[in-house]
Amino acid sequence: MTDVPEDEQPLPEPEAQTLSRRRWPFVLLGLLLALLGWNAVITIPVSRALSDEEGSTTVAYRRWLISPNQIVFDVWSVDGSQSMVAMDRRLFKAAEALKDSSYESVVLAYHGQTRLLMDGKTFQEIGANRQTENPIYTMRTMQEHIYNPDGSPAFGTWTGGWLGVMGKQLEDHNEFHKRWWVNDAIGSAAAMPNSATAQ
């Protein structure tokens, strides 16, 4: 029978459990740092692109914080000065910041709640063409690539005379914003007590 060196002797059971418990915080910290880094490649470029924008707080991140092919463009807060055109500009700038990456879809959210989905290819094209495409054309046509949370088309495709088509597209554009953030923002503002009457 050979003697096992003392430094290779198995740890007594209580000591082994204690050592295992001590490792858990480091494992969790490592996972948290990996998750932050995984999302930073989305969040940081968009944050930089929107640094000169005012009127609302919008944040981009991976869906469920882990998805490799879906990202979220989330409206966290809106003040009274925010307009649909300004929110379009935010969305287009975010797309431009991420134009070198491809995604299956982009979740358009309000306070973390999914409102609509945008086709990922359309999002990438908007970003790639932002400097050359007429933004009014993009505003009118992007609704054709917007979907309900269940994946069904949220808007149709219009045909006919250009004036009639443009009018319907602009109606869809307004409805798109209402469903994404306007209705919720108005509801939130209405729920807040009026400072003049609260005093």
How many Å apart are CA 179 and CA 174, to the nearest integer? 9
**Closest by CA position to 65, among listed 36, 98, 103, 105:** 36
Share of the chain above pLDDT 90, in %: 65
All residues at 6 or more sequence positions from 61 whose CB lies less than 8 Å from its CB, including other chains: 39, 42, 43, 71, 72, 74
**What are the phi and psi torsion angles at 120 (to 5°)?**
-65, -35
CA–CA distance, 49 with 65 (Å, rounded to integer):
21
pLDDT tens digits for range 20-64: 677 777 767 767 777 888 889 999 999 999 999 998 999 999 999
Which is more confident, 150 or 17?
150
Is residue 70 within 8 A of residue 144, CB to CB? The reply is no
Q: Which residues fall within 8 angstroms of residue 142, CB to CB, at 6 or more apart?
A: 118, 122, 126, 176
pLDDT band at 198 (very low <50, low <70, confident <90, very high): very low
Three-state DSSP at 33 gives: helix
Taking the domains of the chain in order of start, what are their residue ranges? 14-191
Q: What pLDDT was estimated at residue 85?
A: 95
State the average pLDDT for the chain: 86
Q: Which residue has the higher pLDDT, 183 or 1?
A: 183
194: pLDDT strictly greater than 50: no
User: Could you tell me if 87 and 184 are in contact, meaning their C-beta atoms sit under 8 angstroms apart?
Assistant: no
**The Cα angle at residue 119 between residues 113 and 51, in degrees rounded to 5:** 65
Residues 108 and 115: beta-carbon distance below 8 Å = yes
Mean pLDDT, range 63-79, rounded to an integer = 94
